[in-house]
Amino acid sequence: MAMEDNDYMIPGLEGEENLIAAAKHIVRALGSKKNLTNNEKKVLADLGNQLSTMTIVNENEGEEISEIELQLNAVQEKIMSREVDESMIWEGGSTEGLEYLNVVNEARKLTERLDRLCVDKGDDENEHLRRAYNVLQIAMARLEEEFRHILVEHRQPLEPEHLSFRSSEEDAADFCSINSFCDDSFEAPIQRDGASRTSEERIIDLVNPDVIYDLRCIANSMFQSNYICECSQSYISVRKDAFDEYLFILEMEKLSIEDVLRMEWGALNSKIKRWIRAMKFFVRLYLSRERWLSEQIFGDLGSVGLNCFVEASKASILQLLNFGEAVSIGPHKPEKLFPILNMYELLTSLLPDIDALYSDEAGSCVRNEYYEVIKRLGDSVRAACLAFENAIASSTSTNPFAGGGIHPLTKYVMNYINILTDYSETLNFLLDDCEGEHHITLSPETSPAKEEGHTRGETSPDISPMAFLFRSFASILECNLEEKAKLYKDPSLVQIFLMNNIYYMTQKVKSSELRHVFGDEWIRKHNWKFQQHEMNYERATWSSILALLKDEGNSSADSISKTPLKERFRSFYLAFEEVYKTQTAWLIPYPQLRDDLRISTSLNVIQAYRTFLGRHKNHVSDKLFKYSADDLENYLWDLFEGSPKSLHNSYRR
């Protein structure tokens, strides 16, 4: 029986439904034949059942799409009504915001249902799907706007008490100048990091805690709708602006490396102090709370929270690290050593915080840069130590230091290294380079190892790297002082100058933490040194004068010619008066040292004078005795006061 294709078409049906109807018509036609086998009848029956089921499914899908269309219309109306209203949804409260999220959730579910139903469907169904996606997109754009608005409007201001803690470095006077180190009353105002963390442990809210739940709900909704990228970018953008504000409040301006290198030392030192304070607050206060905030908002979304935190904070932390790098590559002057040590110690103390905050792969760029800056600062510390050593060695003078007192270089060096003892752990770590590439290089003449009987490679294991360095500084200083002493024309003043300065060095070591660095053997050796200079002074000053009071040969007092005796008295008095006039202008600043030298001199001079007077007082007139022994003893106590005086030029009557 021949049939046209149109014989199978059922009016009012199209597409898949028409095909099913045609197939059912064929099955019925074949089933009417009488010569079919049982197997053929069974196959046709099964095919008929399947076609009937497909008809029912299609009818159900049609009903479902109709139902979805009604729901989509309702959802679209609710979402579009919010677009007409210019007010922000969450300004009406969390309840209103959550109601909107429920509508958005319905839109997402409708989109997902249509997406499943509209595979290879007709244009009508795909049109429903396109409309659902448009509605969802409008809702996502609104949520992104609401999310940003909540973050901005509910950002907590930084209160004055957040910044009330001032670091000890900032409160202190500028201690990185020569004048400061030459002041014996000066003490380094250095407080080790971590001595007081009360302020750093203060909990602050970067965003009002009341809105965090709303932000979390919005983020979750956008994540479920595959719009988490837009949500993340909004968060990063807003929080970047917040970080810029924090740095502005902390007075940390953006400076290029060139800006830092061109800066005068006074201005740079001030900025370093400000940087130390800012870095401490930024890491322990702001960054820790920012990480917490991102975890609260994106905590259910895997690594999204950490990625947002890293991207939001990266530019600001790298800006701070960029300043540290700029300082590290600048000129390595001795006065920079203390600020650089403070920077190095701060960064190392913050290492656990940085490792915890930027723990994932996303934060590796920050961690790597952080470690690199620490390394550069460590290299700068070594370079500054070498610069200080060179500065001691190259310090020259064209004129002798007036009065033979303690040279400013001596005070500078000893105060400098005394303050460095506060950094002993750091210095020992940085100077203890097993490969030796960063060791301070010493000349054989100034090596403290040579003084202790060791070569460079045989230094006692009991001597720490810092102790070796400090002994090097002291040895170079002594060599420099010996060169400066050669500028004096008076041999006696040479000894006074060296005695004063060695005594100062010894006392500085004995009365400070330097004692544990230099050791008792060094102190004993230098006690002996200044005592040698004391004895050398007495020989240079008084030997020739006391020779006038000695009787020559075995002649008795009665046989001594009165004229030579008179000349010897006169010569002695003139020599004593010259010593008095000269050496009252010399200075021994330490009272104990000054008194010891006066007593020692008095014992020798007055005893010799008394003996000479006793032997010859019956052979010359009393008019010849210009000064009594008590007079001379009193005059000797005027020496070394730093104020020149003259004795009366008249004989005692």
Backbone angles phi, psi at 641, to 5 degrees: -95, -10
DSSP letter (8 states) at residue 172: S
Give the Cα separation of 273 and 269 in Å (integer).
Answer: 6
The residue count for the chain: 653
Q: Is 610 exposed, middle or buried (CB count within 10 Å of its CB: 0-12, 13-18, 19+)?
A: middle
Type of residue at 644: P
Give the span between the Cα atoms of 237 and 246, in whole angstroms: 15
**Pairwise CA distance, residues 474 & 515, whole Å:** 13
Q: Are residues 130 and 221 in the same domain?
A: yes
Ramachandran assignment for 597, one of left (phi > 0), alpha (psi -120 to 50 degrees), beta (any other):
alpha
**441 found inside a domain:** no
454 assigned to some structural domain: no
Residues 212 and 294 in one domain: no
Q: Among the three residues 394, 426, 453, which one is the final residue of a domain in this structure?
A: 394
Residue 213 sits in the same domain as residue 302? no
Helical residues (DSSP H) of 421-513, grouped into ranges: 424-431, 448-451, 465-485, 491-510
Number of C-alpha atoms within 13 angstroms, CB side, residue 150? 28
Instruction: Report the distance separating Cα 326 and Cα 321, nearest Å.
Output: 9
Tell me: do 368 and 419 sit in the same domain: no
> 3-state DSSP call for residue 41?
helix
| Core vs surface per residue 142-164: b (16+ CB within 10 A) or e | bbbebbbbbbeebbeebeeebbe
Of 505, 501, 439, give the one whose Cα is nearest residue 466: 439
Sign of CA dihedral 403, 408, 411, 414: negative
- Which amino acid is residue 396, in one-letter code? T
Are 493 and 406 contacting, i.e. CB atoms less than 8 angstroms apart? no
Q: Do 537 and 611 fall into the same domain?
A: yes
Count the neighbouring beta carbons within 10 Å of the beta carbon of residue 74. Answer: 13
53 alpha carbon, distance to own chain's centre: 76
* Residue 539: CA count within 13 A, CB half-sphere: 8
Q: What is the full DSSP assignment across 424-450?
A: HHHHHHHH--TT-TTSPP--TTT-HHH
**Given this model, what pLDDT does residue 8 score?**
42
Give the chain's residues under pLDDT 50: 1-15, 54-60, 122, 165-175, 187-200, 434-450, 452-459, 554-560, 649-653
Mind listing the pLDDT tens digit for each residue in 123-149?
A: 555 777 788 888 889 999 999 999 999
Residues 260 and 372 in one domain: yes
Whether 416 is covered by a domain: the verdict is yes
Encode pLDDT of 396-410 as tens digits: 999 999 999 999 999
As for how many domains the chain has, the answer is 3
Contacts of 146 (CB under 8 A, 6+ apart): 88, 89, 90, 97, 218
Nearest C-alpha neighbor of 201 from the set 110, 96, 284: 284
CA nearest neighbour of 594 among 409, 446, 403: 403
Establish if 630 belongs to a structural domain.
Answer: yes
Q: Cα(313)–Cα(235) distance, rounded to whole angstroms?
A: 11
- Threshold 0.95, pTM exceeds: no
Pair 415, 375 in one domain: no
The CB density around residue 398, as the number of other CB atoms within 10 Å, is 5
Terminus-to-terminus CA distance in the chain, angstroms?
173
Computed over its alpha carbons, how large is the radius of gyration of the chain?
47
What per-residue confidence (pLDDT) applies to 200? 46
Domain assignment of residue 355, yes or no: yes
In a domain, 2, yes or no: no
* The pLDDT of residue 75: 81
Q: Report which of 132, 116, 98 is spatially closest to residue 225, judged by C-alpha positions.
A: 132
Q: CA 215 to CA 553: how far, in whole Å?
A: 111
Q: Looking at this protein, which amino acid is placed at residue 454?
A: H
Domain of 617 in residue numbering reads as 408-434+464-551+561-638
At 333, give phi and psi (nearest 5°). -90, 150
**Which of 226, 257, 282 is the C-terminal boundary of a domain?**
226
- Measured between alpha carbons, how far is 106 from 99 in angstroms, rounded to an integer? 11
- Please tell me whether residues 297 and 418 are part of one structural domain: no
Largest separation between any pair of C-alpha atoms in the chain: 182
Tell me phi and psi for residue 465, to 5 degrees: -55, -40
Please tell me the distance from the alpha carbon of residue 277 to that of residue 199, in angstroms, as a whole number.
12
CA separation for the pair 247, 279 (Å, rounded): 10
162 in a domain, yes or no? no
d(CA 317, CA 258): 19
Question: Taking the CB of residue 455, how many other CB atoms lie within 10 A of it?
Answer: 10
Q: Tell me, what's the pLDDT at 128?
A: 73
Tokens of 606: 């007055």
User: Which of 394, 421, 452 lies at the terminal end of a domain, its last residue?
Assistant: 394
What is d(CA 297, CA 217) in angstroms, rounded to the nearest whole number? Answer: 8
Residue 531 sits in the same domain as residue 503: yes
In this structure, the answer to whether residues 518 and 611 fall within a common structural domain is yes
Tokens of 88: 């922000």
Q: Which residues, in sequence order, are CB contacts of 175 under 8 Å at separation 6+?
A: 181, 186, 188, 189, 338, 419
Specify whether the CB–CB gap between 421 and 517 falls below 8 A: yes
539 within a domain of the structure (yes/no): yes
**Could you please report the per-residue DSSP string of 315-347?**
HHHHHHHHHHHHHHHS---GGGHHHHHHHHHHH
Is 303 within 8 Å of 228 (Cβ atoms)? no
Q: Looking at the structure, do residues 428 and 344 belong to the same domain, yes or no?
A: no
- Angstrom CA distances, 313 to 244, 396, 453, 470, 588, stand at 9, 50, 56, 42, 60
Token pair of 321 as six digits: 């690290």
390 shares its domain with 412: no
- Residue 615 has a pLDDT of 84
Structure tokens at 61: 């899908």
Residue 439 Ramachandran class (φ > 0 left, ψ -120 to 50 alpha, else beta): beta
Non-local (6+) Cβ contacts of 389 within 8 A are 440, 442, 472, 473, 476
